């Protein structure tokens, strides 16, 4: 009976500790990603860049012989490149305005992405290239749609900004 009670107590203690650890971890992640680009000095940026580059260089050196690692790394890099327009899409939606955006620039993105997709189709590139190209084209079209929808919102305000707080990001 006593050992069952102790086991139950230990179980509850571990689950409570785990729950609080996860909550604290998530809170710190939200702060980290919300202020990641708000560097206060060049030195801390360079240290972070060096650690990041060293970590991924060592990991890649150790795992380069595994096909799953190379394919995962390739897919992640394709997705990052494919989603470059996503922050602009989100910012336009938050502001309900596309004021200050260059429509010729977005049209150039779209033309480039269409040409890239045609190349992928013509050369029989792997599926992940097609998927990422379609994502890029979709983001371009959504941004052009926002230009149409928000065309009369030239007076839309900027996101609120307080000089005492870190700059807003799309994940706020």
What are the structural domain ranges in the chain?
66-172
- Mean pLDDT across the stretch 35-47? 82
User: Both tokens of residue 127?
Assistant: 């599926």
User: Both tokens of residue 154?
Assistant: 């030239």
- 3-state DSSP percent of the chain in helix, strand and coil, to 5: 75, 0, 25
Q: Is this structure's pTM higher than 0.75?
A: no
H-run or E-run covering 166: none
pLDDT above 50: residue 169: no
pLDDT the model gives residue 156: 56
The third-level CATH classification (topology) of the domain covering 66-172 is Monooxygenase (1.20.1280)
Kindly report, residue by residue over 50-98, the tens digit of the pLDDT.
999 999 999 999 999 999 999 888 888 888 888 889 998 999 999 999 8
Strands (E), 122-165: none
- Mean pLDDT across the stretch 120-129? 90
């Amino acid at each position: 009976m006593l050992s069952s009670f102790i086991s139950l107590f230990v179980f509850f203690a571990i689950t409570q500790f785990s729950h609080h650890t996860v909550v604290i971890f998530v809170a710190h992640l939200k702060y980290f990603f919300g202020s990641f680009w708000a560097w206060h000095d060049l030195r801390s940026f360079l240290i972070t860049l060096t650690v990041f580059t060293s970590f991924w260089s060592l990991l890649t050196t150790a795992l380069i012989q595994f096909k799953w690692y190379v394919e995962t790394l390739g897919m992640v890099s394709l997705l990052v490149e494919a989603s470059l327009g996503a922050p602009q899409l989100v910012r336009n939606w938050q502001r309900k305005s596309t004021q200050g955006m260059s429509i010729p620039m977005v049209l150039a993105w779209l033309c480039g992405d269409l040409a890239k997709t045609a190349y992928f189709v013509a050369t029989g590139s792997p599926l992940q290239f097609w998927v990422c190209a379609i994502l890029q084209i979709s983001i371009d079209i959504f941004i052009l749609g926002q230009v149409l929808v928000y065309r009369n919102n030239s007076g839309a305000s900027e996101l609120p900004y307080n000089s005492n707080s870190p700059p807003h990001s799309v994940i706020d």
